[in-house]
Structure 1
Amino acid sequence: MLCAPPDYAESHVADTDHPFAGLVSRLEANQTLSREDREALLHLPNKLRQLDPGTYIVREGDRPRACGVLISGFAYRQKVTGDGARQIIGLHVPGEALDFQNLFLEVSDHNVQMLTRGEIAEVPIEAFQKIALERPNVGRAILVTTLVEASVFREWVLNIGRRDSRSRLAHLLCEFALRLEAGGAARPDHGYELPMTQEQLADATGLTPVHVNRVLKMLEAEGLIVRNRRHISFPDWHRLRDVGDFNQRYLHVRDRATNGVF
């Protein structure tokens, strides 16, 4: 058995209360895991960290040493141009691993930051490498998870490159709703607390904050969204999907996770 380094601790609480319960559930959505596989994941050495918004979890140019699992809060991937312009290239919700993409790479080529205040469990990179190589079901689940992330990146390229501003924003709101729904955190008919500022929405859609504000007001005037501070709901979900040119196929979410809403 892999021994935990001095700063890491193994937890032995019930699966449903375990920090890695969400991770196991998400991996098992991609590949059937045995009881032994699940136990091995739950007993990965880890160190819990409470992080503030904006805290870097992965920095471009650094050698990967740990892979964080998001326990609570939200995180995002981003890259910065030479003159400092930021492009957000992906979002992460609770239960997701934040750095499977660097699991077998020598250096990180992008950044991961906390979007909100939250908690992560840091797992030594060698521990994830070991379980991926020694347990084929876990290894396949990690591979499929990484392939789905690549699929999401393709959709984001299409969103920024070919959809108009109204469709871009509607598409992002739809994606976030489905990913929260898949994790059991929200339903689109009830809406959710949008954790992104207008500046962050702008960096994710290739727009300016002023343009984002104008588009949100447009969607609101059309009866497609209702906003109450950060809470956002969707009176006409199917029409919003049409406006956003949204097809969830690229997320590869099994039907059982959508409860028929989508």
Structure 2
Amino acid sequence: MDIRVSAYSTATWVIRQHEPQVGIHIIRDGCVAISAERADHRETVLYLEGRGVIMNLEDWVLARPTYSLSARTLTESTIIFIGKDDLRRLFTEDPAISRLMTAHLARRMEVIRRRHIAHLTTNVKSRLVSAFRELLEATGQHQSREAHFESPITRQLLADIVGAAPESISRAMTEIETETLIIRNPSRISIPDVPRFIHYSNKAAYETAPDRPSRNQDRTTPYELLEQQ
């Protein structure tokens, strides 16, 4: 059976857009940036994903011949790969896997819908706050007292995620810094009080992914169910 667990260092490509679609990739731990190629061939980061997320399930379900998006690690990450033929066999043999991945796909579609609405209806500052909330969850620091993000959390990366010009990101970052929600220095960005930041983000115009179950809840992720097989 073609199931592999691989460790990836920071800034390593896991999936490349337009390459042959050969299976699915599940994030066991770490943070991954999902991106798309623009007309000028520059990669634009669309959003971040963390533990338990299946990055390219839509491509497999729709039987696309190639991957529709790219994925690159933002931190050291562990990724589970399942070949598409073996995945089809698992779907047939275990209805629980089929139900779990169908539910996962439905949540993913709702997350994408809400992100699209937010990009059209909220200001840059609100979207930036939500991007940092997403980053906290994707890196597993949402339950910490304080959080630190090393490079490559750049202004351009944040601009891509938020959907704004780098200059607008700088202005919004200054506003957030003034409220002491974040602290910047040349090598990293820090959130000195994570509970306060989360409370602030909950009061913002929207949350990046309010439909996701709380990570405090006991829920089975796709890779955990597969490990039971």
Classify the TM-score, shorter chain.
0.7 to 0.9
Distance 2:197 2:51 in 1: 27
Residues 256 and 243 of structure 1, relative CA distance in 2, 3 Å threshold: closer
Structure 2 portions without partners, runs of 5+: 219-229
Find the counterpart in structure 1 of residue 227 from structure 2: none
Out of 98, 103, 128, the position equivalent to 2:55 is 98
Distance apart, 1:178 and its partner CA: 4.6
Indicate yes or no: 2:79 matched with 1:120. yes
Question: Of Structure 1 and Structure 2, which has the larger fraction of its residues in strand?
Answer: 2
1:62 paired residue number? 19
Give the aligned residue type for 2:204. V
TM-score normalised per structure 1: 0.68
Which stretch has the larger CA shift, 51-60 or 216-225?
A: 51-60
Q: Which one-letter code corresponds to 1:171 in the other structure?
A: S
Q: Which has the higher contact order (CA 8 A, sep 6+)?
A: 2
Q: Distance in 2 between matches of 1:92 and 1:236?
A: 20
Superposition map of 1:14-53 within 5 A? 45-53=2-10
Long gaps (5+) in structure 1: 5-44
Q: How many residues align?
A: 210
Determine the structure 2 residue equivalent to 1:194.
149
**Of 209, 212, 218, which aligns to 2:169?**
212
CA deviations on 1:158-201 (whole Å, 9 max, x unpaired) are 22222111111012222333556xxxx33356243336322211
Supply the RMSD in Å over aligned alpha carbons: 2.7
Q: TM-score, normalised by structure 2?
A: 0.77
The structure with more radius of gyration: 1
Please state how far the C-alpha of 1:226 moved relative to its aligned partner.
4.3
Distance of 2:146 and 2:51 partners within structure 1: 17
Percent of aligned positions that are identical: 16
Distance 1:100 1:145, change over 3 A: same
TM-fit CA distance, 1:256: 5.1
User: Is 2:85 the counterpart of 1:153?
Assistant: no
How far apart, in 2, do the equivalents of 1:210 and 1:153 lie? 25
- 1:219-230 matched pairs, under 5 angstroms: 219-227=176-184, 229-230=188-189
Q: What amino acid sits opposite 1:115 in the alignment?
A: L
